[in-house]
Structure 1
C-alpha cells in the first residue's frame, strides 16, 4: 500500500490499531534504560507514546500524514508534561531519520526484500553504539500455522530470515524467536505468530 492508501485507511476510522503498546515492545523496553527511541512506520504512535510514558524520548515516523496527525493528537491527550519528549513526523522508513537513538523500533513494517534491507540499514545507522534494534512482524508461518497479517509471502519474514538479512551488518543478534499471541476470530480463539528479533548495535 502507498501513503495515499494508508491515509484513506486511517481517515476511515477513529483508530486503526489498538491504543495499547505492542506486547513485545513492552517486554523488551522494560529491560532497557530509557533513552531516545525511534519508532519507524509508527502508525498512530501507540508504541512511541507508551515509551514516552515510561521515561523515554521518542520520535514517531510514518509515511501517512493522517497517521502522524493522529499520533500527535493522541500524544497531546495522553502525555501531559511529557509531551515535549514526543515528536511525530512524516517520513519514509527506508531513509535515514536522524541518529543517536538508543532504541530503533520496526513494528509490523512489511516491505519487499530490497526495501526491507534499506530500512534495516537506515535503522542501524540511526542507532547508537550499544543501542538496540527491535524488529516485530507477522511471521510467514502464519500463512500455514497461524492467523492474521498480510497474506503476501513476499513481504512476510520468519526470525531466521531477519537474522540472515542482518548478517554482515554491524549488529549482534540477542534474540530471534517466534512470539505467540492469542487473537479472537470468527472461528474462535486462534494463535497469531510474530517474528521478534532484538539486535545490539556494535
Structure 2
C-alpha cells in the first residue's frame, strides 16, 4: 500500500535509490522488434527509467526526447547515455506526465509498461501521447496482461487493459489512424527467486495517416 500523501515522484525516487540499477539495461524486446526497419526521426520515450530504450533508439539514428518523473532515474540515464556515446542525441526531461508533457511532434512515441504504484491518469497520458504523433508517425504501447506469478498480494482495484481497451480509450478517429498491431503475447521472465516464468503482455501499435507514412 502507498501513502496517499506520497507523490509519484517521491515513490519513484525512493525506488531508484534502493540500488544502483533496478532494470536490466537492455531495451524492451517489443520496442526493438517493432521499431527496427522504421526510418529514424524524432522519438519520444515515455517513462524512460534508466535509459535503455532511449539509448538503443539513439544508436539506431533517432533523436530522442526521454522523460521520466524521477530525477534520480534521469541522472542515471544521462550517465548511461554518455557512456554509450549517444548523449548528444537524447534530451532527458523530467515530467509528471499527468501534469506536463514534452513539447513537439514525434515520428515515434513509445510507452513501454507505463504504470505507477501511485495515482496516474494513464488513459489521459496516452491520449496526449497520440496527439503528439506526427503524420506518418507511430504510437507504440506495451503493457502487462496481469500480475506476475510471484506477486502474492496484487491490488484488487488495478486493471490491466487489453490492447483493444487501450485502443478504445485513445478515441482515435478511424479515418486518421491505422492499427498495425493489436495482440497479446507471452515472454519469458526471471522472477525474484531466479526462476524462469512465462508472463503475458500486450502490444498496441498504431500509425497516424498522412503524407509521411512509411512502410512498417
Cα distance, 1:25–1:74 mapped onto 2, change above 3 Å: same
Shift of 1:120: 1.3
Query: In structure 1, how many angstroms separate the alpha carbons of the residues matched to 2:87 and 2:42?
Result: 14
Residue of structure 2 aligned with 1:199, choices 195, 200, 206: 206
Q: 1:101 aligns with which of 106, 110, 114?
A: 106
1:151 aligns to 2:154 (yes or no): yes
Tell me what 1:50 maps to: 56
Contiguous gaps of at least 5 residues in structure 1: none
Is the 8 Å Cα contact of residues 63 and 90 (structure 2) preserved in structure 1? yes
Q: 2: CA distance between counterparts of 1:34 and 1:44?
A: 22
Normalised TM-score (structure 2): 0.82
Compared with structure 1, are the counterparts of its residues 72 and 113 closer, same or farther at alpha carbon in structure 2 (3 Å cutoff)? Answer: closer
SS for the counterpart of 1:33 is: coil
Measure the CA separation in 2 of the matches of 1:6 and 1:188.
26
Q: How many correspondences in the alignment?
A: 196
Separation in 1 of the partners of 2:110 and 2:180?
Answer: 15
What SS does structure 1 have at the residue aligned with 2:96?
coil
User: Would the aligned equivalents of 1:59 and 1:88 in 2 still touch at CA under 8 Å?
Assistant: yes
State the shift of 1:198 in Å: 0.3
SS state of the match for residue 39, structure 1?
strand
Aligned-CA RMSD value = 2.3
Indicate the structure with greater helix content.
Answer: 1
Larger radius of gyration: 2
Match of 2:181 among 147, 157, 175: 175
Contact kept? 2:113, 2:144, Cα under 8 Å = yes
Alignment partner for residue 66 of structure 1, among 57, 61, 72?
A: 72
Residue 137 of structure 1 aligns with which residue?
143
Q: Deviations over 1:64-121 (max 9, x none)?
A: 111111111110111x2x3211111101223331222100010111269981221112
